[in-house]
Amino acid sequence: MVDITPMSFSLFSGIWGLYVDVKSLIKMALQPMPYPVDWCGGGDNPVKGPTLQLSDIMKTNRRTIRSYEKRIWFLKFGIFFELSTPRPLTRQNEWQVYHNGLEQCRLADELGFDHVWAVEHHFLEEYSHCSSPEVFLSAVAAQTRRIRIGHGAVVCVPEMNHPVRVAERAAALDIISNGRLEVGTARSSTWTELGGFQVNPDDTKKTWDEFCRVLPKMWTQEEFEWQGKGFSMPSRNVLPKPYQNPHPPMWVTVTTPGTELDAADRGLGCLGVSAAGYEEQERRTKEYHRRIQLCDPVGGVINDQVHTMNFLYCDEDYRKARDIGVPMVNAFNVANTHLYWTREAYPTRAYQTLGNAGAGMKAKKAAVDDPSLAKGLPEGVGVGDPEHLINTIKKWEEIGVTGINFLLNAMEMVPQEQVLASMKLFAKEVMPRFRSKEDLAAPVYTPTSLPAFVGAEK
Amino acid sequence: MIVGSANIETLAEDAATIESFGTSEIVFEDVVCFQMTMEMRNQAREAVLPKGLHPTVPATLSMQAWEIGRSPFGEFKMVVCRIGCRSGVRARGYSTRVYTNTQIAATALKQEFGFSTQLAEIDFRHSFDGTDVKVIFESRVIFEAACLDPEPMSNSDVQYTGTLNLAHTPNGLRLVQLEAHHVASQVERLSSRLLSFDSEAWGNSLLDPYTVVSASLAYETVTFPPVRFVCKPDELAFTGTESV
């Protein structure tokens, strides 16, 4: 068994469209190559995927490097859905929000966006009516061809989702989408949700960790049994297995500062869901990239991508973009602050900030606790004309972020036709500055374009 | 966006009066602060708040019992009833009524902070194995909680939100924002039961706490800086906030 270093794993993860350290690749190529190599590396990681020859891996890596010369550093653009719904909370309004979202996904697929993400939230009036993301994402999978489909994220507490059901649903969605699934994991940060399911907040970090470790096993082992803290089960074959081999890339949603380190330690992607400023994001991203080099991966692949959440409203006229985009951002933030945050409700070590809004609130509190201040537009928000957005996104790219996921609307503040126009303008004027036409035209992970070792058993 | 819908004039019926805002901080020392958070049913969540505030989702209410060892107003106890809310995007508690056990404190709490305050008998007992709070007003028990099994917590694990008091001020009828800075030396989390709650006595018959979320006890020093902001009760904080 060769000792696959963490860096070599980032080469695998490069196949998901990210970060490859060329120097490390050369260094690795010069080293002796014992065979064979398990995907998941050695150590005591019990997840076993298909055995590969290191020569195959190197071949793949070389091919990857070549193909990534143009692609490797290009930033991924995603769209992110909370499915926030305006009052009155009528069935018609909910129907409209869902169907507008699906139309946006179809357009995003055509325009070359890379990801669609959908959250899982429960009971969050107005803020998010996306309680069954697997259903929404299944519809997206059926109506799109190339865009990757992300759980952003599955709530990993057994009172809400039994881990077997998470594994089963994800595998089925991966099959239906032809291997386009990304699986984000989360633990929920509001008492509104945790209290609704009578979850003990002290336990959510532990159950999240347990889910992260068992999901890859369920996806890859024919016989799975478990005696754990959050759940236990006798030996069963959890079916179906996902289409991607060994399994879809895994992520952690990051709200609380420090969670990015939990992601790094487990070899999981960092899916930011709260806006941080450039400086803070740079600090977190650097530390994440440093830490993931030392990770003990919970799954069969390391995902070392760092995505951040942002808002998007793009118009040729900067002032018009702000006039429309800023109220949308503010409406989202106000609805967010109506939630009852776990830290506010329940004294616990497990929640150290007031959720999404908390970081901003805490930072500002030191200076002034003026209630007239909306959260407003922090730096780096994607609202403006194309030139402004290009400059903004360049800064995010410079600090090492590998993807930006945009909220396109909030409480339907922006009429659907304007949302679609904003997406089209962004794709026409902004996106090409970060990738070539060839990249934009390239299909993403259709069965025939999967790397050789993905689905190699077929 | 959900906002309060209560009649401001009705809410203001027993509002306190602040003749002038203080200019120096007020420090409470040797404080024992009990906080109990509860959920209310959502039916009345908008009806109990002024238009300038947003309810939380779900509707919430917290009771705070304070035993103050040293203060400019002497030694006293007080119990505050607060509705969980948001002022702009800030987490706050809108106080409906306060009971205290000394006349000096009652006067000071009204004049300095704008609390709607009444005198009552307060029984606040805390020991190694539990905490009990009982408020008796006009021979009636209007609040009683029993808590057991204290668990030590880190001093930063308990969260207090700022308090808003509806009061007559030099600026007019305003929500006065109190920013208490809590520095704890010991914090415990408790298993708790709500034994009695008289909503009328706490300022609004629509108050409906029906399930306890948590309870904590902290030994601390609390500093109140001078009031910096007041808000118009019938206008959202984004536009209705005034500096003092």
- Tens of pLDDT, residue by residue over A353-404, are 766 544 344 444 444 566 766 555 678 999 999 999 999 999 999 999 999 9
Alpha helices in A89-130 (DSSP H): 91-111
- Which pLDDT score, from 0 to 100, does residue A255 have? 85
- Determine the pLDDT at residue A442: 61
Q: Please determine, for residue A11, whether its predicted confidence score (pLDDT) is greater than 70.
A: no
Task: Compute CA distances A60 → A30, A31, A356, whole Å.
Answer: 16, 17, 40
- B102: closest CA of chain A, how far (Å): 30
CATH number, domain of B156, equals 2.40.400.10
Distance CA B232, CA B242 (A): 8
| Domain membership flag for residue B86 | yes
ipTM of this complex prediction, to 2 decimal places: 0.94
CA pair distance A283, A279, nearest whole angstrom: 6
**Of A10, A11, A19, nearest in space to A403 by CA:** A19
- The residues, ordered by sequence, that sit 6+ positions from A191 with a Cβ below 8 Å of its Cβ are A201, A340, A341, A342, A344, A345, A346, B213
pLDDT at residue B43 in the model: 87
Q: What span, in angstroms and rounded, lies between the C-alpha atoms of B131 and B34?
A: 8
Q: What local confidence, expressed as pLDDT, does residue A435 receive?
A: 83
pLDDT above 80: residue A56: no
Q: Tell me which residue has tokens 């408790």.
A: B190
**Tokens found for residue B206:** 């629509």
Phi, psi of B43 (to 5 degrees): -55, -40
* Cβ contact B90–A125 (<8 Å): no
Tell me the Cα Rg of chain A: 21
Domain annotation covers residue B119:
yes
- What pLDDT, on a 0 to 100 scale, did the predictor assign at position A355? 60
Among B129, B153, B142, smallest CA distance to B96 is for B142
Residue count of chain B, please give it. Answer: 244
- Does residue A63 carry a pLDDT above 80? no
- Measure the CA–CA gap between A59 and A452, rounded to whole angstroms: 10
Look at residue A375 in the predicted model and tell me its pLDDT.
52
Helices in A309-445 by DSSP H: which ranges?
318-337, 342-345, 355-365, 386-398, 416-425, 437-441
Q: What is the pLDDT of residue A74?
A: 77
SS3 assignment, position A169: helix
What does the pLDDT average to over A252-261? 90
Among the partner-chain residues B89, B157, B229, the one whose CB lies closest to the CB of A348 is B157
Q: Cα torsion for A286, A289, A290, A293, to the nearest 10°?
A: 180
pLDDT of residue B209: 97
- DSSP track, B75-119: SEEEEEEEEEEEETTEEEEEEEEEEES-HHHHHHIIIII---EEE
Write down the pLDDT at residue A404: 96
* Residue-level pLDDT at A373: 63
Contact B58 A357 (CB under 8 A): no
- pLDDT over 80 at A177, yes or no: yes
- The answer to whether A338 contacts B86, with C-beta atoms less than 8 Å apart, is yes
CB < 8 Å to B243, chain A: 370
Rounded to an integer, the average pLDDT of A103-116 is: 97
Residue B3 lies in a domain: no
Closest chain B residue by Cα to residue A190: B57
Q: What confidence tens digit (pLDDT) does each residue in A322-356 have?
A: 999 999 999 999 999 999 999 999 999 998 876 65
Number of domains forming the structure of chain B:
1
List the helix and strand counts (H, then E) for chain A.
16, 13
Q: Which residues make Cβ contacts (< 8 Å) with residue A95, sequence separation at least 6?
A: none
Domain that holds residue B227: 8-243
**Would you say how long chain A is, in residues?**
458
Residuewise pLDDT in 10s, chain B (244 residues): 899 999 999 999 989 999 999 999 999 999 999 999 999 998 889 999 999 999 999 999 999 999 999 999 999 999 999 999 999 999 999 999 999 999 999 999 999 999 999 999 999 999 999 999 999 999 999 999 999 999 999 998 999 999 999 999 999 999 999 999 999 999 999 999 999 999 999 999 999 999 999 999 999 999 999 999 999 999 999 999 999 9
Whether the pLDDT of residue A176 is over 80: the answer is yes
pLDDT in tens, A349-363: 998 876 654 434 444
Task: Give dist(CA B9, CA B27) in Å, integer.
Answer: 32
For residue B56, list chain A residues with Cβ-Cβ distance below 8 A. Answer: 338-340
Is residue A457's pLDDT more than 90? no
> Residue B57 has what DSSP assignment?
B
Greater confidence, B135 or A457?
A: B135
Structure tokens that stand for B204 in this block:
């609004």
Distance CA B227, CA B113 (A): 8
Lowest mean pLDDT among A137-146, A266-275, B41-50, B128-137: A266-275
B73 contacts: CB under 8 Å, gap ≥ 6: B102, B104, B105, B108, B109
Nearest chain A residue (CA) to B37: A345
Chain A partners of B153 at a C-beta cutoff of 8 Å?
347-349
DSSP code for A213? H
pLDDT band at A132 (very low <50, low <70, confident <90, very high): very high
Judged by CB atoms closer than 8 Å, whether chains meet at B228 and A369 is answered as yes
Most A CBs within 10 Å: which of B57, B94, B230, as the mutation test of the A interface?
B57
Record: contact A346-B156, CB cut-off 8 A: no
Cβ of B86 within 8 Å of Cβ of A337? The answer is yes
Amino acid occupying residue A186: A
pLDDT interval class at A230 (50, 70, 90): very high
If residue B223 lies in a helix (H) or strand (E), which one and from where to where? Answer: strand B209-224
For helices A259-266 and A204-220, the axis angle rounded to 10 degrees is: 30
pLDDT at A94 over 90: yes
Question: What local confidence, expressed as pLDDT, does residue A374 receive?
Answer: 58
Q: 3-class DSSP state for residue A248?
A: coil
Phi and psi of A334, rounded to 5°?
-65, -45
Give the pLDDT band (50/70/90) at residue A261: very high
Single-letter amino acid code for the residue at B216: S
Nearest to B98 by CA among B75, B114, B74: B114
Q: Among partner residues A123, A334, A344, which is closest to B159 by beta-carbon distance? A: A344
In a domain, B128, yes or no: yes
Say yes or no for a CB contact (<8 Å) between A344 and B161. yes
User: Residues of B near A (CB-CB distance < 8 A)?
Assistant: 1-2, 37, 39, 54-58, 60, 84, 86-92, 153-154, 156-159, 161-162, 177, 179, 187, 189, 213-214, 216, 228-229, 231, 237-241, 243
